[in-house]
């Protein structure tokens, strides 16, 4: 069949929309996720208060919207590995609820996504943290300062990297971009990422932001492992 015909048919018979988390067909009223997945997300967001953690002195607050599990994990994977940037909208919904509940997050004036290395950015085409920050800003109104932080390397070596080695590896991986340093001075920053694991990445980013003169840094992630 010719390409023109394929295009004409796909226009006449559009693909049915599917749930961004589980792939089940959606009805017109469902939105981004199916009713089952929506229930999962709503049930998990209600426990958001539990997901505030202490992560050293440099982060004023560290909070996550969901456990890295079930529907939320499926949405993160769709966002990261299946080029499904729309999945971020469903995650940002839960993040906005946590943001609204925690004054330490609401104190932020600007939002900075955890950066990926430029090679990763080229291969994936986007930074999933920046997509989440953009989706979140539709709820919070915070400006997204994508590019304020730079990631110097993604991973140095996989071989023999235990937790301690990984954390030492990440500690110096982030620097404030020279062109943003003046603007960061005295700002309260909301750092945004997809998944909080050990916290080493967030702490390294907070350190870089504070070294540029930021007044405070709080962290909000979609999920916590
Ligand atoms: Zn679903």
Q: What is the pLDDT of residue 10?
A: 52
CA gap 26, 16 in Å, rounded: 7
- For ligand 1, the distance from its centroid to the CA atom of residue 137, given in whole angstroms, is 24
Q: How far is the C-alpha of 155 from the C-alpha of 116, rounded, in Å?
A: 11
Per-residue pLDDT of the chain (225 residues; tens, 9 = 90+): 455 655 555 555 555 689 999 999 998 888 899 999 999 888 876 555 556 777 778 898 999 999 899 999 999 999 999 999 999 999 999 999 999 988 999 999 999 999 999 999 999 999 999 999 999 999 999 999 999 999 998 875 555 557 777 777 788 899 999 998 899 999 999 999 999 998 999 999 999 999 999 999 999 999 998
In eight-state DSSP terms, residue 219 is E
Q: Looking at the DSSP assignment, which residues form a beta bridge with residue 219?
A: 62, 191
CA-based R_g, the chain, Å: 19
CA of 222 to the centre of ligand 1 (A): 17
Q: How far is the CA of 15 from the centre of ligand 1 (A)?
A: 17
Structure tokens at 99: 């943001």
Torsion of CA 61, 52, 176, 112, to 10 degrees: -100
Q: What is the model's pTM? A: 0.86
How many Å lie between the centroid of ligand 1 and the Cα of residue 46? 19
Using the mean position of ligand 1's atoms as its centre, give its distance from the Cα of residue 96 in Å: 21
* Nearby residues of 110 by Cβ (< 8 Å), 6 or more positions away: 142, 143, 144, 145, 148, 187, 188, 189, 190
Three-state DSSP state, 98: helix
- 191 C-alpha to center of ligand 1: Å? 28
Q: Which domains does the chain have, with CATH numbers?
A: 18-224 (3.40.50.2020)
């Amino acid at each position: 069949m010719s390409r023109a015909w394929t295009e004409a048919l796909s226009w006449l018979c559009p693909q049915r929309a599917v749930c961004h988390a589980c792939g089940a067909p959606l009805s017109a009223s469902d939105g981004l996720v199916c009713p089952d997945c929506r229930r999962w997300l709503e049930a998990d967001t209600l426990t958001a208060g539990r997901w505030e953690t202490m992560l050293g002195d440099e982060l004023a607050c560290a909070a996550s919207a969901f456990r890295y599990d079930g529907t939320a994990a499926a949405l993160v994977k769709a966002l990261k590995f299946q080029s499904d940037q729309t999945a971020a909208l469903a995650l940002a919904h839960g993040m906005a609820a946590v943001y609204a509940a925690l004054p330490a997050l609401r104190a932020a004036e600007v939002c900075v996504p955890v950066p990926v290395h430029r090679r990763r950015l080229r291969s994936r085409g986007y930074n999933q943290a920046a997509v989440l920050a953009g989706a979140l800003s539709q709820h919070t109104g915070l400006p997204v300062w994508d590019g304020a932080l730079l990631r110097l390397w993604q991973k140095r070596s996989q071989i023999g990297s235990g937790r301690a080695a990984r954390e030492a590896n990440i500690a110096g991986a982030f620097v404030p971009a020279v062109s943003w340093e003046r603007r960061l001075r005295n700002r309260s920053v909301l750092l945004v990422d997809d998944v909080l694991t050990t916290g080493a990445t967030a702490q390294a980013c907070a350190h870089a932001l504070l070294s540029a003169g930021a007044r405070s840094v709080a962290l909000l992630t979609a999920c916590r492992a």
